[in-house]
Amino acid sequence: MSRYSIFSLARNALTGHRNWPKAWRSPNPKPAYDVIIIGGGGHGLATAYYLAKNHGVTNIAVLEKGWLGGGNTGRNTTIVRSNYALPGNTLFYEHSLKLWEGLSQDLNFNVMFSQRGVINLAHSDGQRDAYKRRGNVMRINGIDAEYLDRDEVADMVPLLDTSPDARYPVKGGLLQPRAGTARHDAVAWGYARSADSYGVDIIQNCEVTGIDIENGRAVGVQTTRGAIKAAKIGTAVAGHTGHLGAMAGLRLPFETHVLQAMVSEPLKPCLDMVVTSGVAHAYISQSDKGELVFGGDLDFYPTYAQRGNFPRIEEVVETMLTMFPTFSRVRLMRSWGGVIDMTMDGSPIICKTPIDGFYIDGGWCYGGFKATPGSGWVFAHTIANDQPHELNERFTLKRFETGAVIDERGAGATAHAH
């Protein structure tokens, strides 16, 4: 792998940038691999990378039905944080955040992880206490968190409406200073390039159409580019886990929903933090290009179509302008949708399945992007060792049968309320 740096950039400038190598190869699939990862998004590529780097497994194929990072890796609002309250989530997301902190250097690819801070706004006394409760869990677990009062929030986010007579007045907020945003596409590309350098075969335009199971054991996959054998098969196919599970005969506690996101036209810097509101669900930040990036709730009906409808856009924009009234004359530039696996408790599933050699990583609900490094790290561990790491031992399928659900919102067994 040719190293990226200001020096290599200068050197290549002399030759008109004609000699840069491909970031990753485009090999044809081999007949068999030690491990097949289905899904060439951030999670799948990260899994391949950590399998190679941490566990010495390099005979791996990553199968992607379209283009790398074309699922939710390239469709999210790029927020990275670890401000969770329940055991299972806290340390997992924190581990992921720590990996983010060294990711650009680890991958030698600038993923532009911007630790600008994430503020969750509290709009009532109850919410204030709930955020303190969460912040305390974080602190006790060694995760950074600060509680801000209204004036401190107003200082950090000057355009936010913090007036006491607002429809939902801001009472304060929970700040995680180390949280922030990252350049989403770069994460997929960075992992792809590094995984490739370990010899991982990244195969695009290769859709899995069937899982071969013999005697209760997964032995290979059928794809649009032929059958491929493998000793172990893992899926990391945000939004399509239920569908792939069904190929293997599993009924999973998922529904697939569409989540929309949108950006404004680019503006000079006017919002330095990521701000989320708890009353009306919305999250807003400003990209390095200057676009305001924002999103809110699901469209609230199951779908596999990567397109949403207008009522949700109206509601998200209403919320955004209620928070930031002066953005009224700013224009919406682009909106899009991504499909996500909504689990019945809002937390992910990273585990072995009842089928030997078949592993799933899914159920990321709203939160898959920030989990990318952590998810790949523990999923690689799980596949390599055939047992979970401590960090993902609660993310089982079994938890729904036993009742050991990880339900941050307390919304119960619905797939669209978390």
Restricting to residues 345-384, which ones interact with another protein according to CB under 8 A?
Answer: none
Interface with another protein includes 28 (CB under 8 A)? no
Cβ distance to another protein smaller for residue 129 or 386: 129
Interface with another protein includes 133 (CB under 8 A)? yes
From 227-235, 315-323, 355-363, 366-374, give the range in contact with another protein by CB under 8 A.
Answer: 315-323
Cβ distance to another protein smaller for residue 53 or 290: 290
Interface with another protein includes 156 (CB under 8 A)? no
Distance CA 101, CA 118 (A): 15
Residue 258-287 contact track with another protein, rule CB under 8 A, x = bound: ------xxxxxxx--------xx-----x-
**DSSP assignment letter at 21:** P
Interface with another protein includes 91 (CB under 8 A)? yes
Residues 101-130 touching another protein, rule: CB under 8 A, are: 102, 104-105, 108-110, 112-116, 123-126, 128-130
245-252, long-range: CB < 8 A, 24+ apart: 245/353, 245/360, 247/208, 247/209, 247/210, 247/211, 248/211, 248/213, 248/218, 248/353, 248/355, 248/358, 249/213, 249/355, 250/353, 250/354, 250/355, 252/349, 252/360, 252/362, 252/397
Question: In this structure, what is the dihedral angle of CA atoms 194, 196, 199, 200, given to the nearest 10 degrees?
Answer: 110
Question: In this structure, what is the dihedral angle of CA atoms 269, 274, 277, 280, given to the nearest 10 degrees?
Answer: 70
Q: Identify any residues that bridge with 100 across adjacent strands, giving them in sequence order.
A: none
Q: How far is the CB of 121 from another protein (least distance, A)?
A: 13
Nearest Cα to Cα of residue 318 among 282, 345, 276, 285: 282
Cβ distance to another protein smaller for residue 219 or 259: 259
Distance CA 116, CA 283 (A): 14
Residues 225-254 touching another protein, rule: CB under 8 A, are: 242-243, 245-246, 251-254
- Map tokens 């659900």 to a residue: 405
Cβ distance to another protein smaller for residue 219 or 258: 258
Residues 157-196 touching another protein, rule: CB under 8 A, are: 159, 161, 166-168, 183, 185-186, 189-190
- Map tokens 């953005």 to a residue: 327
From 54-62, 210-218, 223-231, 311-319, give the range in contact with another protein by CB under 8 A.
Answer: 311-319
Cβ distance to another protein smaller for residue 88 or 219: 88
Measured in whole angstroms, the distance separating CA 375 from the mean position of its chain's CA atoms is: 9
Sign of CA dihedral 198, 199, 204, 208: negative
Interface with another protein includes 54 (CB under 8 A)? no
Residue 382-411 contact track with another protein, rule CB under 8 A, x = bound: -------xxx-------xxxxxxx-x-xxx
Q: How far is the CB of 228 from another protein (least distance, A)?
A: 21
Interface with another protein includes 26 (CB under 8 A)? yes
- Number of residues in the chain: 418
Binds another protein (CB under 8 A): choice among 40, 41, 42, 70:
70
Cβ distance to another protein smaller for residue 255 or 361: 255
**Cβ(324)–Cβ(355) below 8 Å:** no
Q: How far is the CB of 220 from another protein (least distance, A)?
A: 22
